[in-house]
Amino acid sequence: MSGQQKKFGTPAVFFTAIATLFGAILFLRFGYAVGTVGLWGLFVLIIIGNMVTIPTALAISELATNKRVEGGGEYFIISRSFGLNIGGTLGIMLYLSQTISVAFYIIAFTEAFGFFFNYMAINYDIDLPRQAVSVPVMLLLSALVIFKGANMGLKALYVVVGVLILSVILFFLGKPVEGNDATYFASNAKWMNSNQLFIVFAIIFPAFTGMTAGVGLSGDLKNPGKSIPLGTIAGTLTSFVLYFFLAYKLAISASSGQLSDNQLIMADIALYGSVIVPLGLAASTFSSALGSVMVGPRTLQAIALDSSIPIQSANRWLSRTRDKDNEPMNASIITCLIALIFVAIGGVDVVAQIITMFFLVTYGTLCLISFLNHFGSSPSYRPSFKSKWYISLLGFLAAVWIMFQISLVYTLIAFVTMTLLYLYMDHYHSRRKGFAALFANTLLKINRDLQIYLQKKRTGVAIKQEWRPSAICISRNTFKRNNALKLLDWISYKYGFGTYLHLIDGYFSKETCIQADQELKRLVTNLDTSSHVYIDTIISPSTTSAIAQSIQIPGIAGMENNMVIFEFDKSERQDLHDIIDNFKMVDAGGFDVCILASSRKPVRYKSGIHIWARSFDTENANLMILLGFIILGHPEWKNANIKLFNVCREEEAASVRKRMNDLVETGRLPITPSNVEVIIRDENRTIKETICEHSQDAGLTMIGFNDKCFKNGDTELFDGYDDIGDILFVHSNGVKEIE
């Protein structure tokens, strides 16, 4: 559509909106509304309706002046803001609403021919169905749009809008029916039937749904950034003001009973009403149908151009345009056929309520997009027309609230339908799950504000905070083994936070930046989607400088990192010297230190986590127990348990067991008494031999250590565990309370 000649200006947007805003509901149901809930009740409903329409008009005007709106109008804005899968889902619902609206207006159009049906029944005893008029009119409308296109449609639209304006003027010039205005005003200027307020609102709300009708012509507009705001806002405000005057004119022109019982009461009030009101009704309904039947195909064509319909051949066929005038003829044919089916069925009252729901979803979505753009503060969001964030938020909340007020059942039907369609769309187009920039900007803003808030809370009044791990791990061996990354994922899944930095050796340069970008993409692409670890790269000439840089910045969660995880391969151990050399620096910074000795044996999750605690080493014991509990929160450890071991002398056994059982019980830890084992020390065997005997098949073994283990670069701490799987050596920097 990029090469399509733009034909229309602001009047096209304005008159398309006016033709729908002053439609069938105005002529057939406003009198009923005054007669049922009173003048003040209708005033309230007009205000409630415009709580959605005015914010939506402002929001769509704002969005249209930020970037050029191509074909599809509202669909284009939604899909470019929320992504093609969400946009396609809402676009299909919007298209069906626009298309079925055509049938709704054509059926209402037949009410203008009540005299004809009465004439046939009285004079010829023929009870004609309404389809005798509605089907031929629908065929005529289809022929007009398919063969002549939107250009001819707009010319016809100007004519019928002229008739519509004339009928409204003559209505205001009319006189009250068989009475005086003071008496009628006294009977109607009050609250009536307040319990039916939203029942009436559901009936008249379609009158409010036309203000964005002209936006669907965006692909045919010479200057959408100018025409959409001017035409849409002008149409919305015009209807807002005139609705009050029309309601007042009805209230002073007939009694509440007359207004409620006679759906064409305007014909009895207007000057030359017997002719002009049916003519105006015919003009309004036909023009509304004409506006919808011009907009619907353009929405469908835009959806097809984005390949959002789950049938590729259908996308290609529907996206084609006619060579001579670039009209979406194929999309128009489908639109007219669907509308014709509903016209032939005749009863669309139930469908009309669902249509209202989808229109409200569309309006609420447009307001939400405007609000999120304000909230996300993207530098690229620079509309020449600006609304206010609180107006857009009001429009979104009002749309959702009104949906539930009108009908809980139809609201749930609308949401369930859209959810199922989105799930199918997301499955069918699984490769285009691009994260919409709008969401990214919003989340970045929220994340920034939360981090600043947390920082202020930490530096303000001292408040005792529960301990949870915020761990950081730096490794150059990411593509060789994933043991450390898996450990971080276990810790981060439910209770903690993890940052994994892939180390690239070298100085910061263009070449290493390119390498870092490539390896990060490779990591993120190949990473299990269920991982809860934040992954990044760091370029540094040494492990020491990389660690020094990393431990000085907060973690991704906004809280300070409090744990550093080192990792080495038990069968190679060349990384041990780096770990020992940097341990003191990390320990001096107040960090807990975990050293993972990675084994090439598979993890036996069902064998559980073995924790080797010492009664005199409360600091490490408590941290290991808490880490064991946190790791068990990961689904891979679902059927596992924690086994707590303590090696002591025989005379200490009773008191040690009591302390361990008390710790488990008061800490509400998922460790049963049978999994607490006190082992009497055998003087003929080393502690390491005892650990290897009991934990040979453990899924993960934890052992505490202190800073004295690394004197003179000694690696003895890690020797003698060849038969065990992964071992996590834990050093706590301070006691962690188990509450």
Query: What confidence tens digit (pLDDT) does each residue in 99-151 have?
Result: 888 887 888 778 777 777 887 888 888 888 878 888 888 888 888 777 776 55
User: To the nearest 5 percent, what fractions of the chain are helix, strand and coil?
Assistant: 65, 10, 30
Task: Give one DSSP letter per residue of 421-466, joined into a string.
Answer: HHHHHHHHTTT-----HHHHHHHHHHHHHHHHHHHHHHHSS-----
Least confident piece of the model among 176-180, 339-343, 378-382, 495-499: 378-382
Q: Length of the chain in residues, anyone?
A: 739
Query: Does the reported pTM lie above 0.75?
Result: no
pLDDT at 1: 42
pLDDT band for 2, please (50, 70, 90 cuts). Answer: very low
Domains observed in the chain: 10-428 (1.20.1740.10), 464-731 (3.40.50.12370)
Tell me, letter by letter, the H, E, C secondary structure of 67-114.
CCCCCCCHHHHHHHHHCHHHHHHHHHHHHHHHHHHHHHHHHHHHHHHH
Least confident piece of the model among 393-407, 432-446, 474-488: 432-446
Q: How far apart are CA 425 and CA 86, in angstroms?
A: 8
Angle of helix 24-64 versus helix 349-376 axis, rounded to 10:
20
Q: How far apart are CA 40 and CA 185, in angstroms?
A: 11
pLDDT above 80: residue 401: yes
In the numeric block, the tokens 């990390």 are attached to 586
Percent above pLDDT 90 for the chain: 14
pLDDT above 90: residue 359: no
Residue 680 main-chain phi, psi, to 5 deg? -75, 130
Q: How far apart are CA 315 and CA 307, in angstroms?
A: 6
Any residues with CB less than 8 A from the CB of 494 and at least 6 apart, and which?
630, 633, 634
Q: In whole numbers, what is the pLDDT of the chain averaged over residues? A: 81
pLDDT at 438: 60
Residue 497 main-chain phi, psi, to 5 deg? -135, 145
pLDDT at 487: 93
Task: Report the DSSP beta bridge partners of residue 565.
Answer: 473, 594
Tokens linked to 258:
């007359």
pLDDT at 27: 81
Is residue 628 within 8 Å of 611, Cβ to Cβ?
A: yes
Q: How far apart are CA 236 and CA 254, in angstroms?
A: 27
pLDDT at 280: 82
Angle of helix 74-82 versus helix 437-459 axis, rounded to 10:
50
For residue 603, give the nearest of 699, 697, 728 by alpha carbon: 699
Q: What is the mean pLDDT of residues 216-237?
A: 78
Q: What is the mean pLDDT of residues 393-416?
A: 87
The 563-569 sheet, strands edge to edge? 534-540, 497-505, 470-475, 563-569, 592-598, 727-731, 700-704, 609-613, 642-648, 676-680
Residue 567 main-chain phi, psi, to 5 deg? -150, 140
Q: How far apart are CA 390 and CA 378, in angstroms?
A: 17
Is residue 50 within 8 Å of 394, Cβ to Cβ?
A: no
Is residue 494 within 8 Å of 637, Cβ to Cβ?
A: no
In the numeric block, the tokens 């149409």 are attached to 235
Least confident piece of the model among 132-136, 377-381, 505-509, 540-544: 377-381
pLDDT above 60: residue 347: no
pLDDT band for 727, please (50, 70, 90 cuts). Answer: very high
Tokens linked to 701:
């073994």
Q: Which amino acid is at 504?
A: I
Q: How far apart are CA 285 and CA 2, in angstroms?
A: 32
